Amino acid sequence: MDVTTLPAWKSLARHRADIENTRITQLFEDEPGRSERLTLKGGGLTFDVSRNLASRDTFARLYELADAVDLADQRNALFRGDTVNESEARAALHMLLRTGEPAGHPAAPEVADTLARMETISQAVRDGSWKGSTGEPIRHVVHIGVGGSYLGPRMAAEALTYFRPDATTGRIADHYVANIDGHHIDRVLAGLRAAQTLVVVVSKTFTTLETRANAETARTWLQQQLPGADLSRHFIAVSTNLDAAGDFGVTADHTLPLWDFVGGRYSMWSAVGLPLAITHGFETFRRMLDGAAAMDHHFATAPHAGNLPLTAALLSVWYNCFFEAQSHAVIPYDHFLRLLPAHLQQLEMESLGKSVTQDGKPLAVTSGQILWGGEGSNGQHAFHQLLYQGNRFVPIDFILPLRARHALPGHHEWLVANCLGQAEALMQGLSADEVAANLAASGTDDTLAAARRPHMTHAGNRPSSIIALDSVTPESLGALVAFYEHKVFCQAAVWHINPFDQWGVEYGKQLSRRVFARIQQDPAADQQPVHQATEQLIDLYRKAQNPE
């Protein structure tokens, strides 16, 4: 399907010219009740889209586009467990992990059993009945994964910092390792006591290069620190490949399953979240699943005009394809949500970075955007200048918890004020006349004022949305991440692309293995030469290892 041939798409293309010179502030004057009408609620979140460059007519046309691509039918296919990942002939059933739906699915009993095992294991580690080889209780959990099995769990662990036990109640420390760069795991292990360390290795195939290398390093470290000890109590595996986990030395009763129908970037809801259940408590993990399930229900049942993920997706399509927006910023005004943009970056860019449709035809539009961001208010002193006065069009999501978990006076009020102030300033801008009046009021010399005026003017009309949550809780975090997951699905549905595969990443892995063989001077590598530019840098690397 070529979405650009649809009447609804052509209608939006014509409408783009109509709204070219529209000011967002004017839309508030033209549309009484705009703030209330465009503040949506669902799954425990509040989604204010009133500051977007989209009129009542724009939204109507966007919802018509959703109907034109049969988005509701595509959503229903996702929830039924149909084969929506066509290139890999798989369903995408991450919702099953948190809702138990679709009811009667053959994997549902195993999913329930895995949750029960996670609860048993996490409780045993937490109460000290799970002991290491020397009889000492576990005080450190090292999570080894990569990509989605690292970004999501690490983000959740930090986001829910206030739900950890404090140091007086036997707090267990977590350490997340992903990079093949040995500096990372070297420094992590250097600060740990092996007898009190549990390593959780997460790898669907148990052959992923980075994860396997780090797991082998951790095993060697344990063997050196605990010579002759039985290391079975120091390892847990989360994998589909039970045989490979067993060959590595992880016993079957210490191996939890993954499933092909759950992609890495959707895996934080699975046994991949075991370290979170250990360090924060299984109840915290369960509550996070419940929050995601609430957003699943909202997405599955809410009408278009009140559907949070669908509306967010349509706005992204609007800006991406009709305003040529190349990036999208996500700015959480909460210190412990600072890792969320990195998780969402993988979720969106790996899912939507495609150039062909589901049926293998060239895509007629640009799909996906560069997603980036950072925590507020720190970003105001780093990258907000480009958002204000740069000549790039960057839609923004501000994420705003309304209540803090600390009791420090003034801090949260200022944080909220900064978030709302940024959104208002980006929308309103500052005209040349306003700048001139401000300079005159401050007594600035006329010549200096005239020189400064163009540099201080803000064009404004920069769109943003605000996602408000009562506070950061396991439920609200689950709902927030599920919101973005469903947003990605809706964008893919409009463009008719597959958001559940990542073949480009796989090709890069293949070439990395070939380069590694060349670096190692493996005779077999001569049969698979690399590009001369790569060969030159391999030679430079070899010389650096043996300086004269």
Give the number of other Cβ atoms within 10 Å of residue 291's Cβ.
Answer: 24
Confidence (pLDDT) at 522: 78
Task: List the chain domain ranges.
Answer: 3-68+302-404+411-495, 96-286, 506-545
Name the pairing type of β-strands 140-144 and 197-202.
parallel
User: What gap in Å lies between CA 284 and CA 98, rounded to an integer?
Assistant: 13
Give 149-152 contacts, CB < 8 A, sequence gap 24+. 149/202, 149/203, 149/204, 149/211, 149/238, 149/264, 149/267, 149/272, 150/176, 150/177, 150/178, 150/202, 151/178, 151/265, 151/339, 151/342, 151/343, 151/346, 152/265, 152/267, 152/268, 152/272, 152/343, 152/481
- For position 231, what pLDDT does the model report? 96
Catalytic: 254?
A: no
Q: Give yes or no for a contact between 288 and 135, defined as CB atoms under 8 angstroms apart.
A: no
Q: What pLDDT was estimated at residue 207? A: 87
Catalytic residue among 29, 36, 183, 381: 381
DSSP one-letter string for 416-460 = HHHHHHHHHHHHH-B-HHHHHHHHHHTT--HHHHHHHHHHH-B--
Q: Check if the beta carbon of residue 376 is closer than 8 Å to that of residue 401.
A: no
Rounded to an integer, what distance in angstroms lies between the CA atom of residue 81 and that of residue 102? 7
> Which amino acid appears at position 286 of this protein?
R
What is the CB neighbour count within 10 angstroms for residue 380?
A: 17
- Is 364 in contact with 8 (CB distance < 8 Å)? no
Asked about 15 being catalytic, the answer comes back as no
What pTM did the predictor assign? 0.96
Which of 350, 375, 475, 485 is flagged as catalytic? Answer: 350
Report the C-alpha gap between 389 and 165 in whole angstroms. Answer: 44
Q: Matching CATH topology for 3-68+302-404+411-495 and 96-286?
A: yes
Rg (CA), the chain: 26
Distance CA 442, CA 250 (A): 71
CB 118 within 8 A of CB 274: yes
CATH architecture of 3-68+302-404+411-495: 3-Layer(aba) Sandwich (3.40)
Does residue 412 have an active-site annotation? no
For the chain, list residues with pLDDT below 50: none
AA letter at 228: G
* Amino acid, single-letter form, for residue 48: D
Q: What is the CATH number of domain 96-286?
A: 3.40.50.10490
- Nearest one of 473, 152, 99 to 299, comparing CA atoms: 99
The dihedral through the CA atoms of 219, 223, 226, 228 has a sign that is positive
What is the structure's pLDDT at 513? Answer: 86
Q: Give the per-residue pLDDT at 329.
A: 99
For 406, list phi and psi in degrees, rounded to 5.
Answer: -100, 170
DSSP H or E run through 143: strand 140-144
The backbone torsions φ and ψ at residue 374, rounded to the nearest 5 degrees and listed phi first, read: -175, 175
Q: Which of 411, 509, 531, 543 is catalytic?
A: 509
* pLDDT tens, position by position, 425-476: 999 999 999 999 999 999 999 999 999 999 999 999 999 999 999 999 999 9
Q: What is the pLDDT of residues 348-382, one digit of tens each?
A: 999 999 999 999 999 999 999 999 999 999 999 99
For residue 438, with 0-12 CB atoms within 10 Å meaning exposed, 13-18 middle and 19 or more buried, which class applies? middle
Which residue type occupies 19?
I
CA 69 to CA 8: how far, in whole Å? 9
